[in-house]
Structure 1
Amino acid sequence: MSYTFRAAGTPIWDPALRVGELYLGQAEAVAALLEVPSGLTPRQDGRCDLEPEEFGTFVQHLLRFYNRGHHAALSHLLRGVVLVSLVLLNRAGGHPVPHDGETLDALLTEATALDRTMSV
């Protein structure tokens, strides 16, 4: 069983059910912490719709928060959400993330490697 993420009705990620549910839960928790909408809408049929513009805004806020890096444990907890979110934003054709240095370069490199492992 899987949990499909879609943008404009097109599947962009089809992870195992628990993986999809975990990512969605983490993204929603982070969105609540940042006080912004995630751009993710879970559906009753076991899929999740991603709205690229709203999700792009979420990712921008997430990256700003992550880059502050005031707490090591928090940074580690956020890293997985950041990486998966960068992959999904790219696949959804969302606006490119503003470039702001070495940290983003490293994250984008890691997200590119992760992308190859995330089934569609």
Structure 2
Amino acid sequence: MSYPFQSTGTPLWDPALRVGEVYLGQAHSVADVLGVPSGLTPLRNGTCDLDPETFAAFVEHLLRFHNKGRHQSLSRMLHGVLVVSLVLMGRAGCPPPPPGGEVRDALLAEASALEPTMPR
């Protein structure tokens, strides 16, 4: 069983059920802390809809929050959500985040390496 993520009917990611549920839960928790919507809406049919515009804004907020790097443990917890989110952002056709230095470049490289391992 899986937990597909889609945007306007286009498949973006089809992870195993628990993987999808964990990512969605983490993304919603982070969005709550940031005070912004995630752009991810779970649907009754067992899929998750991604609104590209709202999701891109969420990822940009998350990236800025992550880059503040004031607390090492928090940065580590946010890291996985951020890398998966960057892959989904690219697949949804969103422009990449604005330039932000070495940390941004490292995260984008990590997302690029992860992308082929995330089934559609």
> TM-score, normalised to structure 2's length?
0.99
Matches within 5 A, 1:23-34: 23-34=23-34
- Structure 2 match to 1:92: 92
| Partner deviation per Cα, 1:76-107 (whole Å, 9 max, x = no partner) | 00000000000000000013210111100000
Paired AA for residue 52 in structure 1: P
- Structure 2 match to 1:20: 20
Provide the rounded CA distance (Å) in 2 between the counterparts of 1:86 and 1:98: 12
Provide the rounded CA distance (Å) in 1 between the counterparts of 2:20 and 2:46: 10
**Structure 2, unpaired ranges of 5+:** none
Root-mean-square deviation (CA, aligned residues, Å) is 0.5
1:51 has 2:51 as partner: yes
Q: Is the 8 A contact 1:53 1:95 kept in 2?
A: no
**Structure 1, unpaired ranges of 5+:** none
Matched positions, count: 120
- Structure 2 match to 1:61: 61
> TM-score, normalised to structure 1's length?
0.99
- Structure 2 match to 1:2: 2
| SS of equivalent residue, structure 1 residue 53 | helix
Stretches (4+) displaced over 6 A:
none
| Partner deviation per Cα, 1:1-57 (whole Å, 9 max, x = no partner) | 000000111110000000000000000000000000000000111100000000000
- Structure 1 match to 2:102: 102
Paired AA for residue 63 in structure 2: L
Percent of aligned pairs with the same amino acid: 62
- Structure 2 match to 1:82: 82
Provide the rounded CA distance (Å) in 2 between the counterparts of 1:44 and 1:114: 28
Provide the rounded CA distance (Å) in 2 between the counterparts of 1:41 and 1:99: 28
